[in-house]
Structure 1
Amino acid sequence: MFRTAEKMATKSILAALVLLSILGTSAAKPWGLKLDYYRSKCPDAEAVVQRVTYQYVSRQPSLAAGLLRMHFHDCFVRGCDGSVLLKSPNKDAERDAIPNLSLRGYEVVDAAKSALEKKCPGVVSCADVIALVARDAVSVIRGPYWPVPLGRRDGRVSKALEVFTNLPSPFANIAVLKQNFLAKGLNVKDLVVLSGGHTIGISHCSIIHNRLYNFTGKGDFDPSMNPSYVRTLKKRCNPNDFATIVDMDPGSVKNFDSHYFNVVAQKKGLFTSDATLLDDPETKTYVETQVSTGGSSFARDFSDSMIKLGFTQVLTGKAGEIRKKCAFVN
């Protein structure tokens, strides 16, 4: 059964304390976001989003990974402004870019927004809905819970080409990833912590084909991968298979936990961007610490980094708009 009102009230109090400890009592003001932003305008906004998210994710738990990924992809391109939701008649919006073609969960965001429009028309932004849905989806599968300061406004621009220059690539090495995250105000710890979101992710054979069969153009596999794991993956992904699904966190893909770091430590990270976490002293130390402590700090660290991610280049005040439908500008 979903959380009772009493439990949620406790969570909200703890969430507020966590937010204050991370950002300081006045730190949220420069961004114009705050936990009680909709208190007078739409007091039930979070409850509405939470209810819709639960309805979808409880029936299809794999949506949690998709919704978390959508929030991440949204924030890394033009900031957390809902631009990833926009459709373009010319198929040149963010959602049309190759890295975003596999995004899932648009129907959850649309359903939550539709419910909000019936209750509080023209009040709650699609950008806020994505941020809330991502948090609530993870919470439904018993993952970490974090406070989501609200008040984001929706962007009016969405360009596919900007996805390639802003979104971290699964083929990137640690130096490039650090640059990607720094450009968004996120540090090295945030990089390794948020990579832990792959604990519930899936991918396809197409993304790892070169790592298995032609890493240097000589028909070899990536030497940074565990050879036994390469053999296992080859049994699942034959040379001509680009569609079969592969778990990011084999053995624990349905659980939001720290097992992902065990996988990385064993050199079984699916992407180059996972494997390269062992190439930097700080990220490697974090990986090893989570392995040795059974992930004692991961839930807390993930919550902290998700809060920071949610502040990325937000639009507030009179910037942007509040879309009536998330796929279209007003």
Structure 2
Amino acid sequence: MASRAAAALVVVALAWAAVHSAAAGLSPDFHAVSCPDLEHIVKYHVAEAFRKDVGVAPALIRILFHDCFPQGCDASVLLTGNNSEQAMGPNLTLRPVALNLIESIRAAVHRACGRTVSCADLTVLATRDSLVLAGGPHFDVALGRRDALAPASEDLVFTLPAPSFTVPELLKSFGDRNLDKADLVSLSGAHSFGIAHCSSFSDRFTPDVDTNPPIDPNFAAKLKAKCAKDVPAGTVNQTLDVRTPDVFDNKYYFDLIAKQGLFKSDQGLIVHPNTTRMATRFSLNQGAFFEQFAKSMVKMSNMDLLTGSQGEIRFNCAVPNSRVEGIETMSNEGHAAAM
């Protein structure tokens, strides 16, 4: 009976995802004719990268979140160059291995199918596949996103919630993007794997009873000793989940109960009256966490999309087409002049 109930929940989640995706103007079959092998190509490249480095999974989820939250899932965070999002504070530690993987997938897909699939679609697909490889839930991905012509503004990039945020600040930040409490508590569970640098959790060493949730003293002492060796800054890493750091599961919520949440933003979820009940439920019921996480990932990946004739499908995920075409024009003109 329990397995049937779980299966029913999955069906409900997938149906919800399908309805939500349709409302966003996307379709699961968008590339069925133009690129029938799309999902196989993405899955192969993600599996190869994951086999070499399991850390590519949390790195991809972080890239997707940092792409979608400021101005929608439009691959703007992949752009490089002047005024790029990657040059701004919240994105300085995005992992090159994951950024390079997305571009490698883009190249393979475009070789097989031509320039038919956007970097935005590829980012969502790669993230989903890496999540599954790490033990997380599968969720259906509807396709048809197009790529931004330019990066998000600095003001938008800095709307990304910070590790130092309190729960009220988090609720407002998510609410401003039409993400609710369930989205906040479940998506925070992405910290079930991955790493952080000392600068992002140094405020946990000096707890303030008014703004900083309690931390296990032994855990704090270990962190402080470890970060004392962080010279030069950024050379020391700490796993976000001390129990199963390379697996996507609900042990992150166990960490919070044990007062071993790495970030203030994490630890606050288990003590604040608005979020404690849901965080506790997820610690006791991994199925409930996975179901909500899948829903919230679909919801987030469908925010403020470019579709139809909007945006573009990039030749290169890191470069807007106008810049590629400009370089090609200059190169051709130079060649003609030399002749």
Which letter maps to 2:22? K
Alpha-carbon distance between aligned partners in 2 of 1:150 and 1:16, rounded to the nearest angstrom: 20
- Alpha-carbon deviation of 1:41? 1.4
1:99-142 deviations in Å (ceiling 9; x for gaps): 11111211110110000110112210000011011001111222
- Following TM superposition, by how much is the alpha carbon of 1:168 offset from its aligned partner in structure 2, in angstroms? 1.1
2:212/2:264 contact within 8 Å kept: no
Q: How large is the RMSD of aligned CA atoms in angstroms? A: 2.1
2:238 partner SS: strand
Partner of 1:237: 227
* Residue of structure 1 in register with 2:263 after alignment: 271
1:298 counterpart = 2:302: no
* TM-score normalised to structure 1 length: 0.87
2:253 aligned residue: 261
Deviations, residues 192-216 of structure 1 (Å, cap 9, x unaligned)? 000001001210112222321x556
The equivalent residue for 1:125 is 118
Counterpart CA distance in 2 for 1:101 and 1:115 is 27
Aligned to 2:144: 151
Find the aligned partners of 1:180 and 1:193 in 2 and give their Cα distance: 15
Instruction: Tell me the amino acid that sits aligned with residue 16 of structure 2.
Output: S
In structure 2, how many angstroms separate the alpha carbons of the residues matched to 1:210 and 1:163?
24
Structure 1: how far apart are the matches of 2:189 and 2:230? 30
Contact 1:138 1:145 in 2 (8 A): yes
What code does the residue aligned with 2:92 have? L
State which structure, 1 or 2, has the greater radius of gyration over its C-alpha atoms. 2
Q: Out of 37-46 and 73-82, give the one that drifted further.
A: 37-46
Given the alignment of the two structures, is residue 103 of structure 1 paired with residue 76 of structure 2, yes or no? no
The code of the aligned residue for 2:258 comes to Q
What residue is the counterpart of 1:35 in the other structure? 28
User: Contact 1:15/1:147 (CA < 8 Å) preserved in 2?
Assistant: no
User: Are 1:16 and 1:147, in contact at CA under 8 Å, matched by a contact in 2?
Assistant: no
CA distance in 2, matches of 1:267, 1:180: 24
Cα displacement (A) at 1:18: 3.6
Mapped to 2, the partners of 1:168 and 1:23 lie a distance apart of 28
Deviation at 1:303, TM superposition (A): 1.1
1:307 to 298, 304, 309: 298
Secondary structure in structure 1 of the residue aligned to 2:287: coil
CA-CA distance at 1:43 after TM superposition? 1.3
Unpaired runs of 5+ residues, structure 1, are: 1-13
Aligned residues: 307
SS state at 2:196 partner: strand
Query: Alpha-carbon deviation of 1:314?
Result: 0.8
1:21 partnered with 2:11: no
Unaligned ranges ≥5, structure 2: 1-8, 322-339
Q: Deviations over 1:147-193 (max 9, x none)?
A: 11110000112146135432111111111111221222211001000
Q: Which structure has the highest helix share of the two? A: 2
Task: Give the fraction of aligned pairs with identical amino acids, expressed as a percent.
Answer: 33
Q: Which residue of 2 aligns with 1:79?
A: 72
CA contact (8 A) 1:125 1:322 kept: yes
* Match of residue 324 from structure 2: none
Select between 28-37 and 38-47 the one with higher mean Cα deviation: 28-37
Aligned pair in 2 of structure 1 residues 315, 159: CA closer, same or farther (>3 Å)?
closer
Segments of 4+ moved more than 6 angstroms: 14-17
CA contact (8 A) 2:164 2:201 kept: no
Shift of 1:55: 1.1
TM-score, length basis structure 2: 0.85
CA distance in structure 2 between the aligned counterparts of 1:16 and 1:74, rounded to whole angstroms: 28
